[in-house]
Structure 1
Amino acid sequence: MAITLKRLRDQVIVVTGATSGNGLAIVEEAVRRGAAVVATARNEAALEALRDRLSADGGRIAICVADVSDMAGVERVAAVAIETFGGFDSWVNNAGTGTYGTLEQVPVADHRRVFDVNYFGLLHGSLVAARHLRGRGGAIVNIGSILSDRAIVEQGPYCATKHAVQALTDTLRMELEQEGAPISVTLIKPGAIDTPFPEHARNFMDQPPRLPPPLYAPSVVADAVLFACETSRRTLYAGGGGLVSSLLSRAAPRLSDRIMELVGTTTQQKPDDPGDPTRRDNLYEPRVDALRGSQNVHARTSSTVLQAQKLHPAFLMLGVVGAGIAVALSRPKPTRR
């Protein structure tokens, strides 16, 4: 069955992790463009404030307090969408959490919690969304990361979940295509985005964490996600810095490893700027949420790479081929004897 996606203003969109960072940007932009939204997160006060603010301006929004690691909670979100709007057309699996520190520093229980949210939360949302959308069509949009393509030091559990998210998304897409379900499945791979993630993550380093530059504003991710709600795409990179890192990792993995080993820790630390202490560590309980991080950073508000992908999906293949050619040409030629 062919995939036909509605115009954004005719859609109902479910967004998880809706009160902070990328999720908040997605909700605000979706409502601004005329879509109805079901916003879900753990932070009840932030959800209520979001609903009141957007509703006051005429936005159509419903809320549901839920932890995506709990399947019953995710099913409750779908029930709210059905009760309020008669169903939904797109489901955005955005909720995420993380840690900073080496694999040995992070307790196993915290490893499991990161997987419970980032992987199993996304699995729960995907299963619930697919069940609903099989009969009406629509889009499932999963938030991965450039770390779905390669790992970085100090974020091992997070990287592992994002690798798993890519595999889950690919499997989901194949299974839905195999059965002929009219559902688009897209993986969004943001680069470093100026959200409260470094403050929200549980930190085991001896310095405050930060995201390595270049950074992009959450609006870049929102643009990619809402495009995927209307247009079937396999993958979208949100931010050119992330795509460059991914291509380098594919073309020269050992070189990428060396770069990460040399600068991976220092570029993820900000000793003189720890950020807002009221946001610190939301691994198990919600903390103060916000659209942007409170650290003093520069974030780009647009991505040329994303706009090129929106024009034509072949852009990514050209990038992969170009990176491969560049690496091949840079290798020394064998000496003739």
Structure 2
Amino acid sequence: MAITLNRLRDQVIVVTGATSGNGLAIVEAAVRRGAAVVATARNAAALEALRDRLTADGGRLALCVADVSDMAAVERVAAVAVEAFGGFDTWVNNAGIGTYGTLEQVPIADHRRVFDVNYFGVLHGSLVAARHLRGRGGAIVTIGSILSDRAIVEQGPYCATKHAVQALTDTLRMELEKEGAGISVTLIKPGAIDTPFPEHARNFMDQPPRLPPPLYAPSVVADAVLFACETPRRTIYVGGGGLVASLLSRAAPRLSDRILELVGTAAQQAPADPGDPTRRDNLYAPRVDALRGSQAVGARQSSTALQAQKLNPVILLLGVVGAGIAVALSRPKDVSR
């Protein structure tokens, strides 16, 4: 079955992690463009406020309070979509949590919790979505990260989940393509985005966390996601800074290691700007949600790299090949005898 995706205004889109950061931006942008949305998150009060605000302007929105680490809860989300709108066309796996600290500092239970949400939450959503979309077509769009390609110090559990999500997404794509299910599977890889993530993450460092620049606004991620809802793509990077970091990691992994060993911790700490204390630590329970982080940062409102990929995905391949050639040519020749 060929993959055919409906126009956005004719779609019903499920969005997990819908009350904060990228998820909130995706919901708002989708509703503005005429899509119906099933918004799901743990924060019931934030979901209700979101519905009141968007439906007041004529938006079509249904809600489901759910923790994506619970398969039964994710199945309820699909049931809500069927009851409210007759089904859905796209499922967006966006919900995510994190920690800051070394692998030894983070308790094993917290490692598992990050995997329960970031990996198993994506697995649950992908299986439920594939079951619903198989034979009728649609899209599964998952929010990964540039940390799907490149690990960073102080975020080991989060990086591990994003590497696992990369493998899960690739496997899902192959299996659905092999059976001719007619489902597009896209992995979005944002760089640093100005969301409440550093405030929401559980922190074991001796300083408040932050996201390293360059940062982009959540609306840029929403742009990439909504493009993938209508246009089959394998991978979309959000932000030129993240794309460069990924290419450097592939072309010169040891150089990337050394750079992150030297500056990775300091780049993720903000001693003078801890952010909003009411947002801290949503690892096991929701906290105050918001679209943007409360720390004083600058965020770019657009991404040239994203727009280039939307025009021609071959740009990614050329970038990878070009970086590899440049590094190969720069290496000294082996003159040993």
Q: Shorter-normalised TM-score: what interval?
A: over 0.9
Could you list the per-position Cα deviations for residues 4-60 of structure 1 after superposition, in whole angstroms to 9, with x for gaps in the alignment? Answer: 000000000000000000000000000000000000000000000000000000000
Write the letter of the residue equivalent to 1:258: R
Corresponding position of 1:263:
263
Cα distance, 1:325 vs structure 2: 1.5
Secondary structure of the structure 2 residue equivalent to 1:159: helix
TM-score, L = length of structure 1: 0.99
Superposed structure 1 runs of 4+ greater than 6 Å apart: none
Secondary structure of the structure 1 residue equivalent to 2:119: helix
Corresponding position of 1:76:
76
Corresponding position of 1:321:
321
Corresponding position of 2:210:
210
Write the letter of the residue equivalent to 2:90: S
Write the letter of the residue equivalent to 1:45: A
- The whole-number CA distance in structure 2 between the counterparts of 1:324 and 1:295 is 37
Write the letter of the residue equivalent to 1:115: F
Write the letter of the residue equivalent to 2:103: L
- The whole-number CA distance in structure 2 between the counterparts of 1:335 and 1:162 is 40
Cα distance, 1:313 vs structure 2: 1.0
Corresponding position of 2:110:
110
Matches within 5 A, 1:27-106: 27-106=27-106
Matches within 5 A, 1:185-224: 185-224=185-224
Secondary structure of the structure 1 residue equivalent to 2:54: helix
Write the letter of the residue equivalent to 2:3: I
Write the letter of the residue equivalent to 1:86: G
Secondary structure of the structure 1 residue equivalent to 2:49: helix
- The whole-number CA distance in structure 2 between the counterparts of 1:306 and 1:39 is 25
Could you list the per-position Cα deviations for residues 76-112 of structure 1 after superposition, in whole angstroms to 9, with x for gaps in the alignment? Answer: 0000000000000000000000000000000000000
Write the letter of the residue equivalent to 1:259: I
- The whole-number CA distance in structure 2 between the counterparts of 1:251 and 1:334 is 18
- The whole-number CA distance in structure 2 between the counterparts of 1:302 and 1:198 is 21
Cα distance, 1:328 vs structure 2: 1.6
Corresponding position of 1:19:
19
Secondary structure of the structure 2 residue equivalent to 1:264: helix
- The whole-number CA distance in structure 1 between the counterparts of 2:80 and 2:169 is 25
Kindly indicate whether residue 305 of structure 2 is the aligned counterpart of residue 305 of structure 1: yes
TM-score, L = length of structure 2: 0.99
Corresponding position of 2:285:
285
Corresponding position of 1:272:
272
Cα distance, 1:155 vs structure 2: 0.2
Write the letter of the residue equivalent to 1:174: M
Cα distance, 1:307 vs structure 2: 0.4
Identity among equivalent positions (%) equals 89
Cα distance, 1:334 vs structure 2: 4.4
- CA root-mean-square deviation: 0.9
Gap change, CA 1:54 and 1:330, over 3 Å in 2: same
